[in-house]
Amino acid sequence: MLLTAHDIHKSYETADGPFKVLRGVDLTLDGGETLALTGESGSGKSTLLHLIGGLDLPDQGEILIDGVDIAARDDTGRAVMRRGVVGVIFQQFNLIPSLRIGDNIAFQARLAGRYDPAWTENLTARLGLSEQLKKYPEQLSGGQQQRVAIARTLAPRPRLVLADEPTGNLDEDTAATVLDILLELVEETGAGLMMVTHSHALAARMGRRMHLRAGQVA
């Protein structure tokens, strides 16, 4: 099993005391599987995604990727994991403002030693970015920056793709194209895909759907 999460709990401190975001969530995802994670705002979707991506650690429970508990890795180990094994598409683009678009797209793949010029060229063309490669992020629209962030995440061909509302800044046609690319990556490489989305149309195209309500699987 590529991903196993068991009894995941997560709370955050507030002025009124601990706020429980996740309350005992279980899930599994194998290579080649796709999962839509849905739920109302505040239900814990993004928190769960970030925990699986090793951006934070759960208060209780375990998250195994390829059989290795994320909590057993230090910060450096989790960062290395995100460069090649796990790709995270954030709601915030997190592009590097001092790098041109072409270098932003290739950045993670080069760090991971998995840069493939032909695959990267294919991605940029399909996402409509071929004419933007010499520009800087500030010169692009929000939708274009979103597509750059998606290309950067997919360039290393990660085994597990975690996408947090990856089409939120895109028009309907471009959103469908982005999902096509994500699904093709799964088919071509056997990767697993877990996507947070509010779109019923996009969720319907995924193999499975999991709904969170108040930090629990509904």
**Distance between CA 44 and CA 196 in Å, rounded?**
10
The answer to whether residue 84 scores a pLDDT higher than 90 is: no
Q: Check residue 88 and give its pLDDT.
A: 92
Give domain limits for the chain: 3-217
Q: Check residue 100 and give its pLDDT.
A: 98
Q: Check residue 166 and give its pLDDT.
A: 86
pLDDT class for 109, splitting at 50, 70, 90? Answer: very high
3-state secondary structure the chain: CCEEEEEEEEEEEECCEEEEEEEEEEEEECCCCEEEEEECCCCCHHHHHHHHCCCCCCCEEEEEECCEEHHHCCHHHHHHHHHHCEEEECCCCCCCCCCCHHHHHHHHHHHCCCCCHHHHHHHHHHCCCHHHCCCCHHHCCHHHHHHHHHHHHHCCCCCEEEEECCCCCCCHHHHHHHHHHHHHHHHHHCCEEEEECCCHHHHHCCCEEEEEECCEEC
Better-scored residue on pLDDT, 4 or 187: 4
Mean pLDDT within 137-161: 92
Q: Check residue 175 and give its pLDDT.
A: 85
Question: pLDDT by residue (tens digit) across 38-68?
Answer: 999 889 999 999 999 999 999 999 999 999 9
Domain 3-217: which topology? Rossmann fold (3.40.50)
Q: Check residue 184 and give its pLDDT.
A: 86
pLDDT class for 217, splitting at 50, 70, 90? Answer: very high
Are the CB atoms for 192 and 30 separated by under 8 Å?
yes
Mean pLDDT within 1-13: 96
Mean pLDDT within 103-108: 96
Q: Check residue 160 and give its pLDDT.
A: 95
Q: What is the mean pLDDT of the chain?
A: 92
* Partner residues linked to 38 by β-bridges: 211
The answer to whether residue 169 scores a pLDDT higher than 80 is: no
pLDDT class for 74, splitting at 50, 70, 90? Answer: very high
Mean pLDDT within 186-193: 88
The answer to whether residue 14 scores a pLDDT higher than 80 is: yes
Q: Check residue 178 and give its pLDDT.
A: 83
Q: Check residue 168 and give its pLDDT.
A: 80
